[in-house]
Amino acid sequence: MAPKFGVAILLFLPFLAFMVSAQVPTIFDITKYGAKPGADISGALSNAWKEACLSSTSSRIVIPPGTWSLSQVKLIGPNKSPIELRVQGTLKAPIGQLPNKDGEWITINYVNHFEISGGGVFDGQGTEAWKRNDCHKNKKCAKLPLNLSFNFINNTYIHDVTTKDSKNFHVNCISSHNVKFQRFTISAPGDSPNTDGIHLGRDSNITIIDSIISTGDDCVSIGDESREIHIENVTCGPGHGISIGSLGSNTAEKDVVGIYVKNCTFISTTNGVRVKTWPSAPAHLQIKDLHYENIIMNNVTYPIVIDQEYCPHNLCNLKDPSFVKISNVFIKNIKGTSYYPEAVTMVCSRTNPCENVQIADVDLTYSGKRGPTTTICANVKPTLVGKLNPPICANITGAKSS
């Protein structure tokens, strides 16, 4: 496990060294492009971005301290040299609908050697929009905008900034490589709908470290074709936990390989670590090499979940099993408290049972009145090591102890 994590860090080091050794950047201050407090700065930011992308030397776009209104912006590469977007102030999104109803407030696409820093805040001002969100029951619901959309970005370092009260997902990071989020804060109330923290899909070598994520949905959600995702020293709560999926509903979906969640803390989340796939769905793919280690669960409703019968709001049926294959799952040193007695749930596919699941040193307690702490298992025979509280898969014949 450790060597693989080391490889991911080593892959990122050349980029960090490049940024540190780069020449003094050319400054592009948005106030030099006509930005004024109280007025929409989208034009000024776009113009500064265009010039920075054309620069043959490294550049820094500066949004100074203060409160700035930003209606909507698309910042598109390619860039000739490294670019830093230094956000020192607070950017505020429109409370109502965006000018362009494409579902994204700030979009950054096709950049390489890019950095966001500065200690600033991206404020989506989502409180009013959440009241109108009925997507859980209305498939034709209005698409609410997300705060930050990153697509096709490479060798990127996003750190020391906050995204707050997004109307929808806080961050989408799609089709990107070698991206690091560090000291990245995500803040939204626990009852804010669909405010996923960071959603990943078709990415490789993504690191999320030393961060705090508080949302009304998944703290981190991992979609298909994700490889080498490293999440370490992250505090999640409130929220729905760190989830892979849901997967299986689309035949174009591709494998998820190499997910590492280490040294994380979950506080009053509905789930801790979770994998979810749809039953009666057409996709055949694999989810494999999952590593969960040194995790604290504090009053988590369902701390450990593999659910291959995921079917929210009765949007499917259970007559056919999931075709997704889950294998090589390593769960080690998970401690804390469960809000419900079912501390561990592993319901795997009856057609493709989970394989090579290894569980070691789990200590999850429940002090409520619903009975003793238990586990729910189906179509899985894990290898068990060390102290296990509760007994893991005691109801399944053939669980292996060592």
Secondary structure element (H or E) that encloses residue 174, with its range: strand 171-174
Alpha helix ranges (H) inside 125-282: 127-131
Closest by CA to 218, choosing from 247, 243, 193, is 243
The three-class DSSP label of residue 45 is helix
Selection from 86, 9, 1 nearest residue 52 by Cα: 86
Q: Catalytic annotation on 136? A: no
Distances (CA, A) of 261 to 61, 107, 330: 33, 27, 10
> From the candidates 136, 240, 284, 291, which is the catalytic residue?
240
Task: Label residue 43 exposed, middle or buried (CB < 10 Å: 0-12, 13-18, 19+).
Answer: middle
Q: How far apart are CA 238 and CA 19, in angstroms?
A: 34
Give CA angle at 74 (69, 80), nearest 5°.
120
CA dist 355 and 346 (Å) reads 12
User: Which amino acids are annotated catalytic?
Assistant: 240
